[in-house]
A and B are shown apart, each in its own frame.
Chain A
């Protein structure tokens, strides 16, 4: 191939990072599916969004297309393992909107928003995306009844995910695998 030694090493490293991240994201997705949030009086179907930790970290270290790959892998694999095909469309819609918002904010607003702000925006975008997909499929806007509560839960989970990403990024930055991807 036309790749020089260091280029192909970097490509390999990226592939490894995406593979590890998607594995962790899928496990986080399975773990959070076991937490009965609706039993705690929260919006049914609401999730903690742990998998977002890996996606935001990936956007931080790698390029947009690598993170996009991770989003697709994570969403498909989680649907395969949990067998939630009926909601695949909704999670894909939410994940992609969330990814787009976080990616644009990381590119454009890095100096203004911290990782926590980006994570909050991502969580809210995820919720809005899912709700929008749901109201399109159901052909009704009455599901938007749940928009306010989803906005608030988006803030809370976004802050939690944001802090997790901050710790993860500072820890990963010390590992040699991530050295060349530091900004």
Chain B
């Protein structure tokens, strides 16, 4: 490897770190209630509380189905009939800003903390 190669690797690593570091400093969300915002095709679909108890969320669109499972203060994609099954590979997520994406079905799941985020204070049950 030449010197410029090393430089390229170093620059990219620093860029990756620059993205990662604020994430660890900024996550004092322990103890806060987390929610998962589910978006289908760019439109808000549902917001669910991440509870310890198990809940299942069934998303059915003309593209197919996605089944999400909430448990132990996190969420995971449980089953889907998308062709690539990439969304199942994201596994169980439980930290703010983590996401699950199912590109073929245009489904996006993003974790946010309920306090502090502005967009979700208006939920009335």
Contacts and interface: CB of A to CB of B under 8 A. Distances in A.
A116 B1 contact: yes
A114 B2 CA distance: 6
A84 B84 contact: yes
Interface residues of A, number: 35
Interface residues of B, number: 33
Residue in A84, A117, A149 whose Cβ sees the most chain B Cβ within 10 Å = A117
Interface string A121-152: 10010000000001001111011011111011
B123 to A, nearest CB: 20
B86 A142 contact: no
B60 interface: no
A29 B87 CA distance: 20
B108 interface: yes
Interface of A: 38-39, 44-45, 83-87, 90, 109, 112-114, 116-117, 120-121, 124, 134, 137-140, 142-143, 145-149, 151-152, 154-155
Interface of B: 1-2, 4-5, 8-9, 12-13, 15-17, 19-20, 39, 42, 82-84, 86-91, 97-99, 101, 103-104, 106, 108, 110
